[in-house]
Amino acid sequence: MTVTVLVLSVDEAHRLEHCLPAAAAQPGAEVVVIDNACTDQSAAVAKAHGARVVALPERLSYAAALNAGLRATGPDEAVLLLNADCVLDAGFLAAALPRLRATGVGSVAPRLLRARGLAADERLEEIDAAGLVVDRRRKNTLVGHGAPASAYARPGEAFGADGAAALYRRDTLEDCAVAGEVLDEDMALWASDVDLAWRARLLGWTCAYEPGAVAWHVRTYSPSTRGDVSAADRRLQFRNRYLMSAKNDTWRDRLADAPPIALYEVLALGHALLRERTLLAGYGEARRLRAGARRRGRAVQSRRRVRRVPFGLTPER
């Protein structure tokens, strides 16, 4: 199975120095760096480590930049979407690829471990993510964040793969594309990986969780770091949850889970009113973008291949 490792850099040359050697050491992988109009030495570092560079002439959002990188690569059978703040274990692809070859599997979620930085002595003995999940409230979260590194040691099935290191079949990504966009560019960044995982589920693709595929990740936005990110980023995540629901949900799906959805929405509004009033603007942003989300949703729902999405699905701890 041919694999492209697609790494996005946004002035992250210092991170590429750690990320790229581990990616280039994966047997049979071609490493491609998306230079998102960088002003640092990202392109030079990429070339020094044998990676091909896709240079973007202007700075794009995370989603748009990855879409540009996907269009510029191929015809590989698999694509590893990899953040520059993530370092792969030597046996990452050797463990993950056999799972991706199974019938109906469209993606593989690795066991991501937490790290303070990208050097080996900055690694922590904690889970960063054992995949991601959307529960019956339509709340998305990381599976196992903060659990001991030895947890989630059994292969299984996840709802989806976290975007820090997500291995996809190229066929799955192409199947999920709407109007040429694999990642929804209206969402820009946060939760765009969850949205892609949800869309793949609707189209009948499953996600395998493989604990033998290990990587260390310096997480920017997580349950343990949320207070450190900007109000704008928190608002983006808040509004994107509504966009992916408007696109991927149907009234029948929502009706089946109406009580937990309604309770969570009351709590979310209360939190915004009492604790984080900057989130309130997210409701208006979601409303302005809702027509586009529903247009994309109709394109996906017309090809829907499963009757019920497995909300709350997580690997066994």
> pLDDT for 203-218, tens place per residue?
999 999 999 999 999 9
Q: What is the pLDDT of residue 220?
A: 87
- Please report, for the domain that includes residue 10, its CATH number: 3.90.550.10
In this structure, the answer to whether residues 191 and 286 fall within a common structural domain is no
In this structure, the answer to whether residues 9 and 139 fall within a common structural domain is yes
In this structure, the answer to whether residues 121 and 268 fall within a common structural domain is no
> pLDDT for 251-268, tens place per residue?
999 999 999 999 999 999
In this structure, the answer to whether residues 177 and 283 fall within a common structural domain is no
In this structure, the answer to whether residues 56 and 199 fall within a common structural domain is yes
Q: What is the pLDDT of residue 221?
A: 80
Q: What is the pLDDT of residue 126?
A: 97
Domain containing 234: what range? 227-301
> Which of 217, 236, 265 is where one domain is finished?
217
Q: What is the pLDDT of residue 228?
A: 83
Low-confidence ranges of the chain (pLDDT < 50): none
| Residue 316, in any domain of the structure | no
Please give the tally of structural domains in the chain. Answer: 2
Q: What is the pLDDT of residue 144?
A: 97
| Residue 12, in any domain of the structure | yes
In this structure, the answer to whether residues 152 and 236 fall within a common structural domain is no
In this structure, the answer to whether residues 47 and 195 fall within a common structural domain is yes
In this structure, the answer to whether residues 110 and 242 fall within a common structural domain is no
Strand pairing report for 86-88 and 105-115: unpaired
In this structure, the answer to whether residues 184 and 291 fall within a common structural domain is no
